[in-house]
Amino acid sequence: MAIKKSDIYRSLWDSCDQLRGGMDASLYKDYILTLLFVKYVSDRASQADALIEVPKGCSFEDLRKLRGTKDIGEGIDKAIAGIAEANDLKNVIDRAYFNDSEKFGRGDKMVKTLTALINIFSREELNFSRNRADGDDILGDAYEYLMRNFATESGKSKGQFYTPAEVSRVVAAVAGINRANSPRQTVYDPTCGSGSLLLKAADAASVELTIYGQEFDITTRGLAKMNMIMHGREDAEIEQGDVIADPQFRASETAIQTFDFVVANPPFSTKAWGAGLTANNRFGRFDIGMPPEKNGDFAFLLHILASMKATGSGAVILPHGVLFRGNKEAELRERILKRGYVKAIIGLPANLFYGTGIPASIVVLDKFGACEHRPVFMIDASRGFIKDGNKNRLRERDIHKITDAYTRQLEIKGYSRLVSFADIARNDFNLNIPRYVDGSDPEDLQDIEAHLKGGVPDRDIDLLDDFWKVMPGVRSELFGPNPRPGYFDPLVEPEDVRATIRNHPEFAAFRDRVHAILDGWAGANAPLLDGIQPGDNPKVLIHTIAEDMLDRFADAPLIDQYEAYQRLMSYWSNVMQDDVFIIAHDGWDAAKELREARKEVDKDNKVKWLEDADLTVNKVRLVADVIKPALIVARFFPEMQKALDDAQTKAEELGREIEELIEEHGSEGGMLADALTETGKLTAASVKARTKSGEAEPEEVKLLKKAAKLMDAETAAKKAVKELEDALTKATLKKYRELKEAEIRSL
């Protein structure tokens, strides 16, 4: 049985829990990602496509043998050093030391922490020898999941090692990489961090690109190297060093190497960018002018331009200040614009990045189409996001809308516009987006006369013109004439407005039209879902059906096509992708399988259940990954479920009658007070004892007999419930084994 992505993510994050308290959250990544790397290369070592050698004594299985031993930290370090030595990865994967008492504690504390870590990485969901379907980058997704959470947990300016995946996808989509047509072409990131942006860019090409990257931080450079290997990009060249003072990729002693495509998310507004820069290592990058001494945004921008071939293109994430700041930056901006290198500006929402909350922009660069007086396509995407914890995040709909507007050059009111060079020149080459695209909400105008004399201004009603075009009759049913010109009176009470609209035939027609679109989409795409076969690519599947959803709703009245698309993509992410992945990995018969719920035994031999059970049979907790028991029951055993529901209802009703009896007669001085236990409960034994005591009055005896009868009936009802539950569980379990493929597909 293939493992669900959600299980992989949960296990990886559980590993972080073992490190809490011993070190700063910003350091988790160094240890967890190193162990993830060792686990991955060990699991893949015996396969034909393995490019990393795992020497004898250095595999993850050898790490498992160290569990509980006093030398576990030293042993892990030796194993990692062995892999590094054998694969020319020294100072790349061996920079996190596990034999560190300051981080893992001394003696028994270190042994327990590292043993727990190895136990988590030993879980079946982290068995990468079989949990990787062709075309679906499970490990890469897991790595991204960890990097996002590491950046969130760090809580400091640690965003340099990770560009949010959603932003990376936008950068990759607009950087011109879709033009790639030769495997000899190259993609480069001068400030590559952990490499996530580089990988997204390379994946956007239809051909295999050669990857180059440079990263200043030596530990983060190691993460990037591991990231490349785990994504199957072992040949990527990732160098370490200050890209401004010491660019590693050079064509000669006086010129830097150039590339077909460049993407980057450099550190924002760094003050010490010029440290180490001399006249001898400028490499012609600053011939059009030097950036200001205490702000490095244009230094990185000029380096990127110099790194692009004459036919190259790219995209860089920069703070909004580069668009409008004056003095030296204004001069540089004007010269770059006059050369026609800027193709587009995309304004992003604030608070997307982990190292800063300020809004950023994507500057799209293109030498291939550079010309005099080139217009600039501007997009204000600053309002398209969702809150995600204490950060903002681009949704699937936001990504798609940005890329659609950019690639099709769509002019959308308040969102995107192609701005002429003359218009930019008139604004002194200031590229501040609000100067050209007004994305602000319309002003909420107050009508004093309407407040004082009543009525609704026709101006306010006209603002809903999109609705009246679809349902003109609804307007006349909701609003009637007012004696004063320019005003209307509401004809319906506020609480009746919704019902009036919903009951109107024009609304019914609108609803039917929307349902017809949705039904058409479902009918066209059901065969694709029904036809999933082992080896299929789940990401290709969801792309196909989601794009069709987007296209079909493009002309739907009053429906935002991107919201329809988002609903599907959210369902895919939260529910659907695990099922599709399992079926694409193991086939439809995987739905028949029930497995034991995963558990771990802690150091005190206490069982920790890692997931809830769907069925419990003979005290064995079972999980159904694809088809939940409720679906089986609803389809095949509705009568049994109804009988069980009726029995449970009867038992609950009897229980309530007993509670009411106690409530009425169990208080101090009540006729049942002497029959209650010390804890204030009424039991069969306490009722029997009181009845036989000879102390009860006739009325009390009568009440006791009534209570005893109710309790006997409740016991019988609960017994019936248990028998029906057992019968339904037995029938459901048997049905799983008997399911035919057609039934599985239908379910």
Each domain of the chain, given as residue ranges in start order, spans 1-156, 448-503, 507-590, 594-626, 636-746
Distances (CA, A) of 226 to 165, 234, 690, 738: 17, 9, 75, 45
Per-residue model confidence (pLDDT) at position 223: 85
Q: From the CB of residue 452, how many other CB atoms can be counted at a distance below 10 Å?
A: 8
- Token pair 């990865």: residue: 89
pLDDT above 90 as % of the chain: 61
| Inter-residue contact 430 to 440 (CB < 8 Å) | no
10-residue mean pLDDT series, the chain (747 residues): 68 77 74 88 81 90 93 95 92 89 89 90 79 49 71 52 84 93 93 91 93 93 87 90 95 94 94 88 92 94 97 96 95 96 96 84 95 96 91 94 96 95 96 92 84 90 93 94 91 94 96 96 95 91 96 93 96 90 91 88 74 90 93 96 96 93 86 85 88 85 90 94 95 95 93
* Nearest by Cα to 277 from 304, 303, 259, 307: 303
Distances (CA, A) of 664 to 265, 677, 703: 72, 16, 11
Per-residue model confidence (pLDDT) at position 116: 87
* Nearest by Cα to 614 from 632, 600, 602: 632
Distances (CA, A) of 584 to 21, 197, 472, 663: 41, 28, 49, 58
Per-residue model confidence (pLDDT) at position 158: 44
DSSP letter string over 618-678? Answer: TTEEEEESSS-HHHHHHHH-HHHHHHHHHHHHHHHHHHHHHHHHHHHH-STTSTTGGGS-T
Per-residue model confidence (pLDDT) at position 153: 61
Partners of 344 in beta bridges: 364, 377
CA angle centred on 422, ends 421 and 424, rounded to 5°: 65
| Inter-residue contact 380 to 416 (CB < 8 Å) | yes
Partners of 215 in beta bridges: 240
Q: Write out pLDDT tens, residues 137-191.
A: 565 667 667 777 776 665 544 445 578 889 999 999 999 998 998 889 999 999 9
| Inter-residue contact 493 to 521 (CB < 8 Å) | no
Per-residue model confidence (pLDDT) at position 156: 46
Rounded to the nearest angstrom, the gap between the alpha carbon of residue 510 and the centroid of all alpha carbons in its chain is 33
Per-residue model confidence (pLDDT) at position 669: 81
Per-residue model confidence (pLDDT) at position 120: 86
Going by C-beta distance under 8 Å and a sequence separation of 6 or more, which residues neighbour residue 663?
none
pTM: 0.84
Per-residue model confidence (pLDDT) at position 465: 93
CATH node for 1-156: 1.20.1260.30
Going by C-beta distance under 8 Å and a sequence separation of 6 or more, which residues neighbour residue 436?
378, 417, 419, 423
CA angle centred on 19, ends 16 and 20, rounded to 5°: 95
